[in-house]
Structure 1
Amino acid sequence: MSLSRRQALGAAIAVPVAAQAARAASSPSLPDKNSFAVTPVAYLDSASTHPISLGARAAMDAYVGGRTLDPAALARKPVDRAAIIAKFARLVNADPDEVTWVQSTTMGEQAVLRALGFPHKGGRIVTDTLHFYAGFPMYQELAKQGVDVAWVQARDGRILPEDMAKAITPGTRLVSLSLVSTYNGFQHDLKAVCDLAHRVGALVYADIIHAAGAVPVDLHGSGVDFAACATYKWLMGDFGLGFLYARCGVLDDLPLADFGYYGFAAPGAPPGIGLSPPQTHVYPMDPRGDAPVSYIVRPGALGHFGTGTYAQSVIAAIDHGLDYLGALGVPVIQAHAQPLIGAMREGLTARGYKIITPSGTATPLLTALLPDARARLTEPLARAQVRISLHDHHFRIAPSVFNDMKDVDRLLAALPRA
């Protein structure tokens, strides 16, 4: 069989990518540059979007091959979705039936709010100013619709436990926070917050997008009730797929608020995420029934929050990403980032920048204040081929598994004095 020019080109690309990925996966060590494509850029922006590894790319290529009906790809064993849920559950110390797919972190947070009846049931929500800032309008809109929203203000880049304690009053229904702040990397003591909330009968939701894969996460140990994250950051996946966690038992008294294909199954269907669609009673040769369809609600988080389809190609990427994280170990990844963060903190301070990430923070994020940061730094960083996250009046640096001190030196050399 002869290959077309397009097929030949695709094969020429796929073979070295797959070969490099296989070599890198065999013995990852840090810094690990072999698992990622060669780039001239000193990429220090993994808290915005983590680069896709060569192994994840090969897995996604195989998925696309199947979608194009490539015989070679069709012969591959399909990705085990239940196994991926189980891998993520192990990563964050949860049970697989407490976890389901979600399209994004924000979709997960909104699903929790709907499940609790906000805004129509009213009540008090406590959140803080180091939560995801793009979610602030959501809580402001809830307040307009009658929800009592209390904002805990950050002090010196931290949310102080005593300030949380004052805000979490009797009658509070939900505490909503980011375990690790996207703004400056501050990390809550999640167990302490959950203890405060549970004493007054409140539930706790945690956005863990900047925690899962970057720092150790223990959902069971913390007692948190809900958590969500997407996969395109530290889980090394891509956009359009994430995970939603609901603690065992917490959904028992909550009515369904989301209704979708994956949440329902035929009576007697086995548990899990395998397809077993409800039994219809309206089509030719259907069995008779008293309603158009017979079904059960699947147990656990899947039954409560499983709705429509999600990004299938990302499943292949995150399968590889979770294996990679499991092979290295999150504590090893966290430890690798800290000397880099320390060197950048020292270098930025020497250049006159004000660091707003609290000292002692063990997350891979470092944020500094600078008036007109985006306008002042875009050009010099582009010229030096250094990538960080630039904002109006601050910038954030986030090293990952492939970064080394040479990347730190390039960044510091490219930055003007504050």
Structure 2
Amino acid sequence: MTSAMAPLAARLSASPTDTALPNKAAFFPAGITYLDSGSTHPVSTGARAEIDRYLRHRALDPAERDYKLDEDGVRAKFATLVGADVDEIAFTQSTTMGEQLVLAALGLPEPGAHIVTDTLHFFGSFPLYEELTRLGCKVTWLRPKDGRIPIEDIERAVTPNTRLVAVSAVSTFNGFEHDLARITRIAHAHGALVYADIVHAAGCIPIDLHASGVDFAACASYKWLMGDFGLGFLYARRDRLAALKRTQEGYYGISEFQSHAYPLDPPGDTVADYAFAPTAMGHFAYGTYSHMGVAALTWSLDYILTTGVARIQAHAQQLVGHLKQELPRLGYKLATPAEARSPMVTCIYPGARKTLKPRLDAAGIEMTVSDNRFRASVSVFNDMSDIDRLLTALGRA
């Protein structure tokens, strides 16, 4: 092994027990200051090593002949991370797919059905609820006040005919965090159910789905779970499953199967006898899902659980706390509430993409810059020098 390859090999063999923060050693040096984990989290060296093992197995490498993909273990780790039971967790392709599966299972759209949501929910769901309105549902949109959705507004919006309250636990727009337990108490008191998008919560802030009481939740794995595209999780409370409408019949949800169609099969009155598992997988599973995503999470979820979400959050809060303090001094308008516990800071800035993006590109800084706002999101590999570099590149507003 050459000396140039030695550091790479050491990083690839790094164990999830390496939990000191910041942890730059667990990620490949990119030659940039990366402040965009809220969009796409970099793949760690440990997760890449697991993916490489899986790919060698798929390539029939004799050295990986005994490799086993740990699907059940990954679902169990995620359940532990978010305060759920493994039988309440199903694989899904993405957060959006999870949300739409929940709506379909509730029989939505249905003319006259009342749904409460807000404009700090994922903007990709805006068309979804607008289409439900077009199809006869009544959707109440709550608007933020000072970057927050007041709980009193939710109390006023939820009525005895409300079917569903759908929110993002943490807003992708500005990091505002809902009090899921209070929302659930309000909704349940009126006979409504609660769906939570937890893609900006799982892995970066402590979350306990059982304690919150929410009925359904979904997230992808390519953000704070440090996984990849094409794999996510759908949570459904065990006591809600029996009342849901089955809208698809997936092979991966079958717990019992006996064919009567092939030679030497036992005789039967149908082509097959089967039963669906009384679990989230039994109700929501379709067919195959991203095996490379499972391989990545085999390492990443171990890393997150070993490091501890509270420690990950505390590290991020040091960094975003400095941004919240310094950005207004430079003349930037914060859109993120001061008390937000998420690892993101958003500022409103007219013409941000046109004016600020060239400065950031020149400084080698990658983060979300939209037409009229920008968002910095930090993770376990970021340190205060990254934050200072951003502040210097931005300069005065």
**Stretches of structure 1 lacking an aligned partner (at least 5 in a row):** 1-7, 267-277
The match for 2:49 is 58
Report how far residue 19 of structure 1 moved: 3.0
Q: Deviations over 1:147-170 (max 9, x none)?
A: 111111111100000000111111
- Describe the SS at the equivalent of 2:206: coil
Report how far residue 265 of structure 1 moved: 3.1
- Describe the SS at the equivalent of 2:165: strand
Counterparts in 2 of 1:389 and 1:84: CA distance versus 1, 3 Å = same
Q: Which residue among 242, 260, 272 is the counterpart of 1:281?
A: 260
- Describe the SS at the equivalent of 1:101: strand
- Describe the SS at the equivalent of 2:182: helix
User: What TM-score, normalized to structure 2?
Assistant: 0.97
Report how far residue 18 of structure 1 moved: 4.9
The match for 2:273 is 294
The match for 1:347 is 326
Residues in 2 aligned to 1:105 and 1:174: alpha-carbon distance in whole angstroms: 17
Residues in 2 aligned to 1:153 and 1:330: alpha-carbon distance in whole angstroms: 30
Q: Which residue among 311, 316, 326 is the counterpart of 1:337?
A: 316
Q: Decide whether the 8 Å contact of 2:16 with 2:299 is kept in 1.
A: no
Q: Decide whether the 8 Å contact of 1:24 with 1:34 is kept in 2.
A: no
- Describe the SS at the equivalent of 2:196: strand
Q: Decide whether the 8 Å contact of 1:101 with 1:244 is kept in 2.
A: yes
- Describe the SS at the equivalent of 2:177: coil
The match for 2:363 is 384
Residues in 2 aligned to 1:374 and 1:132: alpha-carbon distance in whole angstroms: 21
> Is 1:75 aligned to 2:54, yes or no?
no
Residues in 1 aligned to 2:73 and 2:252: alpha-carbon distance in whole angstroms: 17
Counterparts in 2 of 1:130 and 1:110: CA distance versus 1, 3 Å = same
Q: Decide whether the 8 Å contact of 1:18 with 1:58 is kept in 2.
A: no
User: Share of identical aligned residues, percent?
Assistant: 52
| Within-5 A mapping of 1:107-186 | 107-120=97-110, 122-186=112-176
Q: Decide whether the 8 Å contact of 1:18 with 1:55 is kept in 2.
A: no
Residues in 2 aligned to 1:163 and 1:37: alpha-carbon distance in whole angstroms: 45
- Describe the SS at the equivalent of 1:340: helix
| Within-5 A mapping of 1:171-320 | 171-266=161-256, 278-320=257-299
Counterparts in 2 of 1:18 and 1:239: CA distance versus 1, 3 Å = farther
Structure 2 residue identity aligned to 1:363: S
Report how far residue 186 of structure 1 moved: 0.1
Q: Decide whether the 8 Å contact of 1:31 with 1:401 is kept in 2.
A: yes
The match for 1:25 is 16
Q: Which residue among 364, 367, 374 is the counterpart of 2:343?
A: 364
Structure 2 residue identity aligned to 1:125: I
Structure 1 residue identity aligned to 2:11: Q
Residues in 2 aligned to 1:258 and 1:224: alpha-carbon distance in whole angstroms: 23
Q: CA RMSD in A?
A: 1.6
Residues in 2 aligned to 1:185 and 1:301: alpha-carbon distance in whole angstroms: 29
Report how far residue 280 of structure 1 moved: 1.4
Report how far residue 255 of structure 1 moved: 2.4
Counterparts in 2 of 1:24 and 1:406: CA distance versus 1, 3 Å = farther
Q: Decide whether the 8 Å contact of 1:21 with 1:58 is kept in 2.
A: yes
Q: Decide whether the 8 Å contact of 1:108 with 1:228 is kept in 2.
A: yes
Q: Deviations over 1:330-356 (max 9, x none)?
A: 000000011111111122111100001
**Stretches of structure 2 lacking an aligned partner (at least 5 in a row):** none
Structure 2 residue identity aligned to 1:281: H
Q: Which residue among 347, 363, 384 is the counterpart of 1:405?
A: 384
Q: Decide whether the 8 Å contact of 2:69 with 2:291 is kept in 1.
A: no
Counterparts in 2 of 1:96 and 1:126: CA distance versus 1, 3 Å = same
Report how far residue 388 of structure 1 moved: 1.1
User: What TM-score, normalized to structure 1?
Assistant: 0.92
Residues in 2 aligned to 1:26 and 1:222: alpha-carbon distance in whole angstroms: 30
- Describe the SS at the equivalent of 1:265: strand
Residues in 2 aligned to 1:112 and 1:17: alpha-carbon distance in whole angstroms: 43
